[in-house]
């Protein structure tokens, strides 16, 4: 047991040293170095890296920015919700990046993301962006978003969007039911959603 504890201490110390080095590389002039640093921080899955990944979402290189956003979603970093939501309304943020933000907010599942997503959906969006936003709203929403989704299901000009909104409202209602059992999206569904976002960003 003593040997295991010693190895754990060494591993923690080494990991801490690595994180410090990766954070330092986030300030490197080369975007490729910053991108590699973001990947290393995200792959570490250490809660301490979340603050640094949030800072990386402001990187001027779109590759670094997107990768930081993706990792925050994968880590379900609720602390990142306000910063990510703000990205939805920045004029200089590319729509492809905003779609990545929506996917990340959906993965995080923080109810605080619901209101910004609703405000985003009130904008003039293409069908792909609307669909991704509705998916995200489904994953962060509660009973307070149901009226909004019901209105989309009734009034939107696009039949696919109406169907998505109706399905999202149903999913939320099921989730709020005492008999609800979580259903994890299939791998195919996740891939389809990711592909939609990537196609919309091109």
Judge whether 162 and 193 are in contact, CB under 8 Å.
no
The model's pLDDT over 56-82, given as tens digits with 9 standing for 90+, comes to 999 999 999 999 999 999 999 999 999
**DSSP per residue over 20-45, as a string?**
HHHHHHTT-S-HHHHHHHHHHHHHHT
Kindly report, residue by residue over 161-188, the tens digit of the pLDDT: 999 999 999 999 998 887 655 554 544 4
- For residue 188, the model assigns a pLDDT of 44
Burial 91-108 (b: 16+ CB within 10 A, else e): eebeebbbbbbbbbbbbb
pTM, whole model, 2 decimals? Answer: 0.80
For the structural domain made of 1-75, what CATH number should be given? 1.25.10.10
pLDDT over 90 (residue 120): yes
Residue ranges per structural domain of the chain: 1-75, 80-202
For the stretch 11-48, pLDDT in tens is 444 455 689 999 999 999 999 999 999 999 999 989 99
């Amino acid at each position: 047991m003593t040997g295991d504890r010693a190895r754990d201490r060494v591993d923690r110390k080494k990991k801490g040293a690595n994180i410090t080095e990766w954070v330092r590389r986030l300030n490197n002039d080369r975007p490729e170095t910053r991108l590699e640093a973001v990947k290393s921080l995200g792959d570490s899955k250490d809660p301490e890296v979340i603050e640094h990944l949030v800072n990386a979402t402001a990187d001027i290189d779109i590759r670094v920015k997107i990768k930081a956003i993706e990792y925050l979603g994968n880590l379900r970093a609720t602390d990142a919700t306000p910063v990510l939501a703000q990205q939805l309304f920045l004029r200089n943020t590319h729509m492809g990046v905003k779609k990545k933000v929506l996917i990340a907010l959906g993965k995080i599942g923080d109810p605080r993301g619901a209101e910004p997503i609703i405000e985003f959906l009130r904008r003039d969006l293409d069908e792909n962006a609307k669909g991704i936003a509705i998916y995200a709203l489904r994953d962060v929403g509660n009973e307070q978003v149901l009226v909004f989704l019901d209105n989309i299901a009734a009034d939107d000009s696009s039949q696919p969007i109406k169907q998505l909104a109706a399905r999202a409202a149903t999913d939320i209602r099921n989730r709020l039911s005492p008999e609800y059992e979580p259903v994890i999206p299939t791998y195919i569904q996740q891939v389809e959603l990711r592909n939609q976002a990537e196609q919309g960003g091109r």
